[in-house]
Structure 1
């Protein structure tokens, strides 16, 4: 299988970075805006890591930059392709795909490990198996594998010691918050693709029959279920802000900007209530600029020592979530 953007000859680092920059600009405008705040070296490495994540996601779902799901019959074959290309990247061998070649570069430069990559790939394996969460723990395990583990890798790319568990936990928190915001925003899109990431137990408690969460007469109950998800997202986002204080100034600014932008996605979904899925929730460029400005002020202030938002909610940790269900 030849992926979108595949090449027939190896590219140098400059070309791989250019490919990765184009990937993030197309695939995540919110993260692209925040990434520009990093110093050049960190920014390039973040782009290279993002490009691998984007390529894996598109391969896993037979998509083009997160568009409409493609044919899912050969999911196991596509998952094997992800594993094979990632293994080649770690071995320093050409993969035929600039996203994976770029990942090999950033892995060597920053000391990313096969175990870190395997945690991320485990999330794609869950989707390939048409897996659905039954409990909150299941939901959070999925979020860990598709986003929390990416947060851990991003922290290492920013120069955090792989043995600094406390800071890596906070980076994981930010990934969890991002993914929960995405799930809240994309309930309707996921339903159209015959997927649901809301825990079955939550739906049962809300008297919503499985698979019927988008029916108009269940919209009020669905709004309450998603508000529960948003509360957990905000608690983990707050925890991540505490950890951001351990980063260098520009890195802290970028991370706090991303946290603000994705937090706004979750907030807007909750604020729109029953109309949250009439059209996709998007953060305007003006609002993004506002969050970047706020983050600049927060970045130069002493970081908070604790979060009030997490007082009544359980914060899930990497140790809770690291093994796939």
Structure 2
């Protein structure tokens, strides 16, 4: 199979909101972002689908070597073959791809975060770095756009964390900072046992407000000159903010329910936002 066909199938199969934003890109940029997104899916799947920590560690180590081969060797995986081609046209530094793997590594070593500062490092590696690379692929004229991309990536990851509280807890992970749990008097046991309370709803409202602030901060930092080129990010933001507001409207029932938008609704939001571009 052609490496780019593999990447497209990997992206489409995920059902992610990100896939819909790629539809508005020229072919060469679409191929590049598909390759980057497929890379993220592959290394994320190592952590989510491999239950033996030693096996997961071995797989991540393999991915580090395979990623390095993109820049000075002979990669063998279709995703890395695709990235080896697109990196010649777009600025995709090795260090940033390895930082994404570092973020996945954190999932193998850490299941709780003391405070938001520590959580930010995780979010930076698994999401903001992806946002920065995506901004390079989409194209920009003003470097201020990189601040937008950084904060938008953080907002996306905070949205994911909010959506997946219950699912993550069942996997033994709680990304909500310990200092936040203590502030709202929500014991970790309540989250693990899916126990709702007024305190928990207040905690989630706090998390939602934090995410909304990062969306606002990101949008305020996007220069007008780059608004058209960064349209895929705006599409993603529209879909993700709609999801975040659905979670709030549902009463933050994230311990027992995973709020999701239908593919048709995602496509409608993407089309509306893309045309408004």
TM-score, with length taken from structure 1 = 0.78
Match of 1:271 in 2: 249
Offset of residue 110 of structure 1: 0.8
> For the structure 1 residues 105 and 219, does the alpha-carbon distance in structure 2 shift closer, same or farther, using more than 3 Å as the test?
farther
Give the whole-Å Cα distance in 2 for the aligned partners of 1:34 and 1:275: 27
Moved more, 35-44 or 252-261: 252-261
4+ residue runs of structure 1 moved beyond 3 angstroms? 214-219
Asked whether 1:137 is paired with 2:124, we answer no
Match of 1:44 in 2: 31
Match of 1:195 in 2: 173
Equivalent in 192, 202, 216 of residue 224 of structure 1? 202
Asked whether 1:77 is paired with 2:64, we answer no
Offset of residue 23 of structure 1: 0.7
Match of 1:287 in 2: 265
Equivalence map 1:31-70=2 (5 Å)? 31-59=18-46, 61=47, 63=49, 70=51
Give the whole-Å Cα distance in 2 for the aligned partners of 1:141 and 1:50: 20
Give the whole-Å Cα distance in 1 for the aligned partners of 2:201 and 2:72: 47
Give the whole-Å Cα distance in 1 for the aligned partners of 2:110 and 2:189: 14
Preserved CA contact (<8 Å) 2:21 2:233: yes
Equivalence map 1:1-16=2 (5 Å)? 15-16=2-3
Equivalent in 222, 241, 246 of residue 219 of structure 2? 241
Offset of residue 183 of structure 1: 0.6
Give the whole-Å Cα distance in 1 for the aligned partners of 2:12 and 2:125: 23
Give the whole-Å Cα distance in 2 for the aligned partners of 1:244 and 1:30: 24
Match of 1:149 in 2: 129
Asked whether 1:86 is paired with 2:70, we answer no
1:202-253 deviation digits (Å, cap 9, x = unpaired): 111122223432435444322222222221222222233341634363x433
Moved more, 164-173 or 181-190: 164-173
> For the structure 1 residues 274 and 233, does the alpha-carbon distance in structure 2 shift closer, same or farther, using more than 3 Å as the test?
closer
Larger helix share, 1 or 2: 2
Number of aligned positions between the proteins: 276
Give the whole-Å Cα distance in 2 for the aligned partners of 1:222 and 1:106: 45
Preserved CA contact (<8 Å) 1:133 1:197: yes
Match of 1:306 in 2: none
Equivalent in 105, 108, 112 of residue 125 of structure 1? 105
Unpaired runs of 5+ in structure 1? 1-10, 64-68, 300-325
Equivalent in 180, 200, 211 of residue 158 of structure 2? 180
Equivalent in 88, 93, 96 of residue 116 of structure 1? 96
Unpaired runs of 5+ in structure 2? none
1:188-207 deviation digits (Å, cap 9, x = unpaired): 11011001100011111122
> For the structure 1 residues 159 and 92, does the alpha-carbon distance in structure 2 shift closer, same or farther, using more than 3 Å as the test?
farther
Q: RMSD over aligned Cα, in angstroms?
A: 2.2
